[in-house]
Chain A
Amino acid sequence: MPKYGMVIDLQKCVGCGACALACKAENNTRDRGDNNAHNWADFISTTEGKFPNTTQIVLPVLCNHCDVPACIPKCPVVPSAIFKTPDGFVLIDHETCTGCKACQQSCPYSTEALDDRSLAGETYSVISFNNKRKPAQPRWEDNTAMIPGCTSSGAEVAKAAGAPLPAMNGYESTETQPVRARGVFEKCTFCYHRVTHGLLPACVDVCPSKARIFGDLKNPKSEIAQIVKKQKYFRLQEDKGTKPNVYYINKYSARA
């Protein structure tokens, strides 16, 4: 049984955002709203030093699919709606998720009320919530037109395209709803629906710099296992004891 993990090479990453956009396309995540970003792949960005000795560091972030997830024990559902698979994926069962927030509150990489600092890449949340009382895909449920009779509305586009989101990526899945309903939490699945069929996660697949290396940490011959064995790395908030499976190597800036 493999154990999946991801390495992100910061020297190769240029913070272009292609990974996060491909993630949105692959997973049909909605637009930001109600203090939730709905970006399963996102970024921390920090500017350091004083001019002219300034550098910037961009750090792509996503669910760490921890070995010791803080979220799972807090889930009140029996069996827990958020669960870990034998091959290392941490998934949410949207059939049983009650939208209670325990996972989001307990995850060291998430925050319940994402504030404006996230717009500058200072904060983030890998878990997002779909409000119980509001449209799940507000952009595509809107019925207003900018120029009546001449431009369409979100709902009209979706209807004409024949899908809840016009660009919906209709994948198959048991626990994860490809388009989430109201009232459930959502997060990165490591593209379970792709990886179990031999494809790479969308963010890895599209990275123009090949900064993301995904694979089986338990297979000593895999590229990722070799990197973790040989290269210096860090993981986020190791002090929380979550044993994350997303590793970072090298420096974003040659001057850092």
Chain B
Amino acid sequence: MKLTRREFLMGSSATIGLLMVEGVLAATPRNPKSSAIKIRKAGPAAPSKGEWVPSTCQGCTAWCAVEIFVQDNRAVKVRGNQLSKANNGYCCPRGHLIPQQTYDPDRIKVPMKRTNPVKGRGVDPQFVPISWDEALDLVADKMIELRKNDEPHKFAYIRGRYSSTATQILYGALPAIYGTPNYFSHSAICAEAEKMGPGLTQGFFGYRDYDLARTRCLVTWGCDPVSSNRMVPATIKHLGDIIARGSLIAVDPRMSTSAAKAHEWLPIKPGTDGALASAMAHVLLVEGLWNREFVGDFKDGKNLFVAGAAVDEAAFAEKETHGLVKWWNIELKDKTPAWAEQETLIPAAQTLRVARMMAKHAPQTAVWMGPGAAMYPRGTYAAMAVHALNGLLGSIDVEGGVLQTTSPPLGAYPKRDAYLDEVAKKHGKGKKVDGRGAKDMPAMMNARPGSGVVTNNIANGMLKDPGAVKVLLSSWSNFNFSCTDPARWDKALAQLPFFAHMVTNASEMTQFADVVLPSTMNASEGLSVISNNGLTHGFASIQQPAGKRLWDVKQEETEVCWLLAAKLKARGFPNLYDYFANEFKDPETGKTPTNEMEFSEVLAKISSAPLWMPKEALKGDKLEGWADYRKKGIYNTQQYSFKKGWGGKFNTATKKFEFYSETLKKGLTEHAAKYQTTIDEVLKVSGYLAQGELAFVPHYEAPKRHGSYQDYPFEFVDYKSRLNREGRSANLPWYQEFKKMDTGDVSWGDVLKMNPADGAKLGLKTGDTVKITSPAGSIVTQLRLWEGIRPGTVTKCYGQGHWAYGRVAAGDYAKALPRGGNNNEILVDDYDRLSGSTARNGGFTGVRIEKA
């Protein structure tokens, strides 16, 4: 059915714009003569010949199962694993960048050694190529020296991206057997604060799964899951259908893709997510829209939730939840949409309308909370407030709702306790340099104080005590770029005696390395087993070589670990090597590995053996053996069993979904007792506003802000590019070419987006070079005036601003000049201290904008 011209013009404002755009392109109308077109047959053609090799993407944390097309031993192109259930045979744009990343000319092709002893940003390390033998000799010598001096705890390992199974070698066995407590994950600079939402309410400290095929109302809150966060291909697949059958609601200060497509966009003032969530909860209760099956009801059936009025706890009978009335009395009763409007700048009418919309589709309403609503000072409480809406809506663990996860059965590595000598036992359990568990850093992941990593605080720990770390090993990391206030990392690493970096590219962090051990590009060159979940299924996907390795590079967690262990053995410390060589046996043949490649295969086989040689039949996919697993590349579990936590089976202190978190209370009580102080005092020194009972319920805490409005008038919003392969793809021309696919962005550029009204006030226009200054520092970039951001708030994507990494990513690699600006340079080093997460969202850093 063809649109009439009137419908064409009236139907969509978009098409009017498009006509204008087209007009620009076609300055002079042309009238083709159809008579001149002769039809002619084309000659033979055929698709390329080759084979699809299954592997795993790891371009973000979705860890999608993919297949790489291999022709003549070359990785050519990528698609999703056709058997995958979590990503249904598709990958997002990131996956398509794998061959480009594999064949990046700026990849490090051999081990390198620093010849310039001076270290600093912009100082040429004067790297020279060396052999693996020499490189590992250098590392092993340093490690042995520490053990000889009885200070193995001064060896630290920090992991960036890792294999979910093989990490137990480099992150597990090596520090334990060598004897250091200083091994750290990158996790806390990513999205750990998010986990506090489901963690402190339902005892699930993890990333939720979503049953998108049955969701009727999707609320993307502080994330843009069709671009980044998690389950990207799955969300891309289902978003259009959700729009068609129900409602899409986007809570985001900037117009993300989800926000652009949504029925309702709530451009919230950064950091006020808790206020909006409390107001929505208030509406759901006052209007009687909560889910009776999950939450329960008033004993006499009459809704006593009236704005401003306290309710008798005894009047309500809860079912799967705990503390609803307490939450109402402590936090919600006065949190009307009109109140929230003052904080969030979201009109009360919209909050009301959206809350009703969410209730209309409940329980097939999924509130998908992302880092934007949690990764800021005091973010734990915002995460709880946003996630608690799922509780009110009854969406927890139901079809179309918000789920916990399913994992495939994987094999564990042999026990290593017998290989820990006295030195390892003495030093392995000491204090960690990241400051977790300090009075003002509860870092209570899993509700256990002091259990969460505080990644970004490692640099502070090293600066405070310069002798604390003498030898650092790190893999697939770039903290001098990816952490807020990265100058601290520059300083800490410049004064570090010895640093060995295991990476694919000479990143910013690599510029401080003494030895560089070039890594395989694991999505196309590694061998391991990666497990994750999505769309109600868990999976274990293989990562294996697709094509031949072009360079003298080695897999850091398996091959390098084996070779390093051999070097340590040659120097009189055999324990690690003996553990690897004696205990790890091929599950089929019982053979022990004799070299690094065999070791890596044995590891992958041990991890995956329960999938392809199960002791009893599995409920998920059937696999015929190791060869079959490598050929198919994936094991999918059976579907998630819904209502897993219902019936008193949530992993909380009360076994219920806690609107009043006894789980948090327990953790805070323990932490306060450790310091012989009160919970109120702990919260105060950790920067929270809550005192008393408010500390145990999801609630709104006014945003913490570095920089006065007078000096730094704008809120700054940071977010991730849909093409970021965790910060490793900016050196690819295809990344730069399609940067424009990030809403409001410009290809080959890095633009700060500002509302045109602010531009007019400041006399700034699109294309101007501007300086963004915060209390932490300043960066220079291009300006784009854009209606996708509110006046008073500016936004820029994270990803550009590299001054190293490669010649495409950097403005000038040789001169250490950035392309655009790195957001982290202007973000203050601060934390959500209950989780230990690095703050990067919520407008916690004020900025000012000037013409540069």
A interface with B by C-beta (< 8 Å): 9, 11-18, 20-22, 24-26, 31-32, 37, 39, 43-52, 54-59, 67-70, 72-73, 79-80, 83-86, 89, 91, 106, 108-111, 117-124, 139, 142, 145-147, 149-154, 156-157, 160-163, 166-176, 192-194, 196-197, 199, 202, 205-211, 228-234, 236-237, 239-242, 251-256
* Stretch from B25-33, B458-466, B575-583, B687-695 at the A interface: B25-33
Residues on the A chain within 8 Å of B21, using CB: 44, 46, 122-123
Q: Of residues B25, B45, B262, B738, which shows the largest number of chain A Cβ atoms within 10 Å of its Cβ?
A: B45
**Per a CB cutoff under 8 Å, which of B3, B260, B722 touches A16?**
B722
Pick the residue among A11, A31, A161, A174 that contacts B74 (CB under 8 A). Answer: A161
Choose from A54, A69, A175, A232 the contact partner of B1 (Cβ within 8 Å): A232
- B261 pairs with A211, CB closer than 8 A: no
- Residues of B whose CB lies within 8 Å of any CB of A are 1-3, 7-8, 11-15, 17-18, 21-22, 24-26, 29-34, 36-49, 69, 71-80, 90-93, 95-97, 99-100, 102-110, 112, 127-129, 226-227, 232-233, 236-237, 239-241, 243-244, 248, 255, 257, 260-263, 265, 267, 506, 547, 550-551, 722-723, 733-734, 737-738, 740-741, 743-744, 746-749, 755, 784, 786-791, 806-807, 813
Instruction: Name the contact of B265 in the complex, choosing from A46, A52, A196 (C-beta under 8 A).
Output: A52
A26→B99 CA distance, assembly (Å) = 12
Nearest residue, chain B, Cβ from A163 = B74
Determine whether the beta carbon of A21 is less than 8 Å from that of B96.
yes
* A-B contacts, 12 listed (Cβ < 8 Å): A25-B99, A54-B255, A57-B260, A108-B22, A120-B740, A122-B21, A151-B108, A153-B105, A156-B105, A173-B43, A207-B90, A208-B237
Of the residues B37, B44, B241, B741, contact of A68 by C-beta under 8 Å: B37
Tell me the complex Cα distance, A92–B108, Å: 39
Find chain B residues with CB under 8 A from A22 CB: 77, 96
Q: How far does the alpha carbon of A196 sit from the alpha carbon of B41 in the complex, in Å?
A: 12
Which chain A positions have C-beta within 8 A of B24? 117, 122-123
- Picked from A20, A47, A80, A205, the residue with its CB within 8 Å of the CB of B79 is A205
Q: How far is the CB of A45 from chain B (nearest CB, A)?
A: 6
Residues of the A chain whose Cβ atoms lie less than 8 Å from the Cβ of B91: 18, 206, 208
In the assembled complex, the CB of A89 is this many whole angstroms from the nearest CB of chain B, namely 7
Assess the A210–B237 pair: CB atoms within 8 A.
yes
Distance of A236 Cα from B21 Cα, bound (Å): 11
Which of these, B106, B239, B788, contacts A151 with CB under 8 Å? B106
Q: How far is the CB of A70 from chain B (nearest CB, A)?
A: 4
- Give Cα A14 to B784, complex, Å: 22
Given A169-B77, A233-B2, the answer on whether A21 and B734 have CB atoms closer than 8 Å is yes
A111 touches B25 (CB 8 A): yes
Contacts of B733 in A (CB 8 A): 31-32, 139
Asked whether, in the complex, the Cβ of B45 is within 8 Å of the Cβ of A14, the reply is no
Contact A174 B42 (CB under 8 A): yes
User: A150–B127 contact, CB under 8 A?
Assistant: yes
Q: Which of A15, A117, A147, A168 contacts B506 (CB 8 A)?
A: A147
Least CB separation from B15: chain A residue: A234
Q: Which residues of A contact B737 (CB under 8 A)?
A: 31-32, 37, 39
Whole-angstrom CA separation of A5 from B743 in the bound complex: 29
Q: Quick check: A169 and B11 within 8 Å, CB to CB? A: no
Which B residues lie within 8 Å of A9 (CB)? 240
B45 touches A172 (CB 8 A): yes
Q: A25-B77, A232-B1 are in contact. Are A50 and B787 (CB under 8 A)?
A: yes
Q: Write out the residue numbers on chain A whose beta carbons fall within 8 Å of the beta carbon of B8.
A: 234
Task: Specify the chain B residue showing the minimal Cβ separation from A149.
Answer: B129
A145 contact set on B, CB distance < 8 A: 105
Distance, CA A54 to CA B17, complexed state (A) = 13
For residue B766, which residue of chain A has the nearest CB? A120
Chain A residues with CB below 8 A from B241, complex form: 12
CB contact between A170 and one of B71, B73, B738 (< 8 Å): that residue: B71
Contacts of B550 in A (CB 8 A): 152, 157, 160-161, 166
> A140–B786 Cα gap in the complex (Å)?
37
Residue contact B18 to A46, C-beta cutoff 8 Å: yes
Look across to chain A and name the residue whose beta carbon is closest to the beta carbon of B43.
A174
Q: Given known contacts A25-B96, A254-B243, is B748 in contact with A206 (CB within 8 Å)?
A: no
> Known contacts A22-B77, A253-B14; is A175 also within 8 Å of B43 by CB?
yes
Give the contacting residue for B76; candidates A21, A50, A167; CB below 8 A.
Answer: A167
Most buried by A among B103, B109, B112, B551: B103
Residues of B within 8 A of A68 (CB): 32, 34, 37
| New A-B pairs, 12, CB < 8 Å, besides A14-B257, A39-B737, A47-B787 | A14-B261, A21-B97, A54-B255, A56-B744, A57-B17, A58-B260, A151-B108, A157-B104, A169-B48, A171-B45, A172-B47, A208-B90
Known contacts A154-B105, A161-B74; decide if A206 and B789 are in contact (CB<8 Å).
Answer: no
Q: B75 contacts which chain A residues (CB < 8 A)?
A: 167
Instruction: Say yes or no: B236 contacts A16, CB within 8 Å.
Output: yes
Could you say which residues of chain B place their CB within 8 Å of the CB of A79? 38, 40
Closest 8 pairs between A and B when the two form their complex, measured CB to CB? A174-B43, A12-B240, A73-B36, A21-B96, A57-B14, A56-B260, A166-B103, A193-B45
A92 and B40 alpha carbons, distance in the complex (Å): 12
Interface pair B26/A108, CB less than 8 Å apart = yes
- Knowing A44-B18, A172-B44 touch, does A119 contact B749 (C-beta < 8 A)? yes
- Shortest Cβ distance from B752 into chain A, in angstroms? 14
B740–A43 contact, CB under 8 A? yes
B734 to chain A: which residues have CB within 8 Å? 21, 24
Known contacts A86-B41, A232-B11: A150-B109 contact under CB 8 Å: yes
Bound together, the chains give a CA A99 to CA B539 distance in angstroms of: 51
Given the complex, which residues of B lie within 8 Å of A110, measured CB to CB?
25
CB distance from B279 to the nearest CB of A (A): 17
Cβ 8 A contact of A162, one of B2, B73, B77, B240: B73
Contact B72 A236 (CB under 8 A): no
B30 partner, pick from A49, A50, A149, A240, beta carbons under 8 A: A240
B420 to chain A, nearest CB (A): 37
| Given A16-B93, A199-B47, A157 contacting B129 (CB threshold 8 A) | no
> B39 near A86 (CB under 8 angstroms)?
yes
A residues within 8 A CB of B71?
A: 168-170
In the complex, which residues of chain A have a beta carbon less than 8 angstroms from the beta carbon of B741? 15-17, 43, 45, 58
Question: Given A163-B74, A166-B103, A237-B26, are A16 and B747 also a contact pair (CB < 8 Å)?
Answer: no
- Residues in A with CB closer than 8 Å to B786 are 47
Asked if residues A172 and B46 are in contact (CB atoms below 8 Å), the reply is yes
Q: Once the chains bind, are A106 and B48 in contact (CB under 8 Å)?
A: no
Q: A214–B105 Cα gap in the complex (Å)?
A: 36
Chain A residue with the shortest CB-CB distance to B129:
A149
Which residues of chain B are near A45, meaning CB under 8 Å?
740-741
Residue of A nearest to B791 (CB): A51
Measured between beta carbons, the chain A residues less than 8 angstroms from B227 are: 14, 16
Q: Find out whether the CB atom of A119 lies under 8 angstroms from the CB atom of B740.
A: yes
Which residues on A sit within 8 Å (CB–CB) of B263?
A: 254-255
Closest to B27 in A: A111
Return chain B residues, CB-CB under 8 Å to A139.
105, 733
- A206 & B79 in contact (Cβ 8 Å cutoff): yes
Contact A171 B237 (CB under 8 A): no
Whether A54 lies near B788 (C-beta < 8 A) is yes
Residue of A26, A120, A173, A237 touching B747 (CB-CB under 8 A) = A120
Instruction: Let me know if B74 and A209 touch, CB within 8 A.
Output: no
Q: Is the CB of A69 within 8 A of B3?
A: no
| Complexed CA–CA distance, A55 and B29 (Å) | 30
Task: Provide the residues of chain A in CB contact with B44, threshold 8 Å.
Answer: 172-174
In the bound assembly, the distance between CA atoms of A231 and B11 in angstroms comes to: 13
Q: In the complex the two chains form, is B1's CB within 8 Å of A231's CB? A: yes
B749 and A256 contact, CB distance less than 8 A: no
Contact: B22 with A236, CB < 8 Å? Answer: yes
Residues of B contacting A48 with CB < 8 Å? 13-14, 17, 787
Alpha-carbon gap, A32 to B740, bound state (A): 14
Closest B residue to A206 by CB, please name it. B79
With A11-B244, A84-B40 known to touch, is A194 a contact of B47 (CB < 8 Å)? yes
- The CA of A89 and the CA of B25, in the complex, are separated in Å by 23
Q: Which residue of A lies closest to B225 (CB)?
A: A14
